[in-house]
Structure 1
Amino acid sequence: MSPNAQTPNAKPNKVLALYHKTQGWPFGQKIFSIMVSRMAPYFGTIKPLITELRLNHCACLIKKRHAVHNHIKTVHVIAICNGLEMAMGVMAEASIPAHLRWIPKGMSLDYTAKAGSDILCVAEVTPEQWTPGDMLVPVTAYDTQGVVVVKGHIKLWISEKPQK
């Protein structure tokens, strides 16, 4: 394993610890998702629900509703992009080793099927990927039947935090 990678037994950072804490509350997933959306308000436009968060993995649900429809009444791909970016960002914040920082550099996606149902956006990496330089985070959006509707990656720039 890379010396920069976290082990599953590592103490969770603040984001992961907050997620675990809220899971014991009624509506814990919803409360956590609202808290994240307040930190980055644009995410609130899709009313996301973080359904799963663990080290190097995050899943975010977007409900199919009028506000995220396109002209053919499927979930608009930009709403899906927003969900994928949220899943990636929450995964990155919950997983990045303490001595590193990240910033997004780009997104490359393929639209593979109509998004006619609720959409589950997933971002997942391996611990070995957490090294300085470009990092491609695989992201995938699934409909309720498990059909991939959007697939691609978000490119991050990973760097060392400055010494204090």
Structure 2
Amino acid sequence: MSQVLSLWRRCASVPVVGVRVFSLAFAQKAPYFASIRPRFTVIEPDRAELVIPDRRRVHNHLGTVHAIALCNGLEAAMGALAEATIPPSKRWIPKGMTVSYTAKAQGDITCIAETEPAQWAGDDPDLPVRVRGVDRDGQVVIEGVINLWVTEKKARPAESAAAAGAAR
């Protein structure tokens, strides 16, 4: 089990406070995520959800949630999903994001990232993660795909030397 998934499960078992602690810790690991104050609600293999609370700091000139705040939330959800799902022998990095803004984003927005288990098992390094943001009424306000590049981890020099020595 990944460190992120393990920490999530421990924190989520502590009512109210645990989820806040996890969300703050996650945002500290990648400080830009703190700008949206994500509140994670689900982290499990192939799925992650978080809420971007509605506050003036994430608004645009129209008074709705800014497009970049939404993308930030989608990327945070995708990152939690990737960390909770990726096999231990692999690593990931985001390669690109394509999104459509489908409605005005008002109120708290739930950002959702999803994959299928088979996507992580193959050899194709291109891995699309489906993402969407929904408002309190369930209306999709943003949707798209974040493309990951997933490859095998490279052995560290000490690991390579140990493996070479064992092969002799």
1:56 paired with 2:46, answer yes
TM-score relative to the length of structure 1 = 0.91
Matched with 2:27 is 37
> In the aligned structure 2, how far is the partner of 1:110 from the partner of 1:13?
31
For structure 1, the residue ranges without an aligned partner over 5 or more in a row are 1-11
Task: Report how many residues are paired.
Answer: 153
Q: 1:125-156 CA distances to partner (integer Å, 9 max, x unpaired)?
A: 01111134111100000000000000000010
1:28 paired with 2:28, answer no
Higher helix share: 2
Q: 1:26-58 CA distances to partner (integer Å, 9 max, x unpaired)?
A: 411111010001100000000000111111110
Instruction: Name the larger-Rg structure.
Output: 2
Query: Alpha-carbon deviation of 1:25?
Result: 2.0
> In the aligned structure 1, how far is the partner of 2:20 from the partner of 2:119?
29
TM-score relative to the length of structure 2 = 0.89
Query: Alpha-carbon deviation of 1:24?
Result: 2.1
1:150 paired with 2:157, answer no
Higher relative contact order (CA 8 A, sep 6+): 1
Query: Alpha-carbon deviation of 1:13?
Result: 1.7
For structure 2, the residue ranges without an aligned partner over 5 or more in a row are 160-168
SS at match of 1:120: strand
* Alignment match of 2:106 (pick from 109, 116, 131): 116
Q: CA RMSD in A?
A: 0.9
SS at match of 1:106: strand
> In the aligned structure 2, how far is the partner of 1:32 from the partner of 1:106?
26
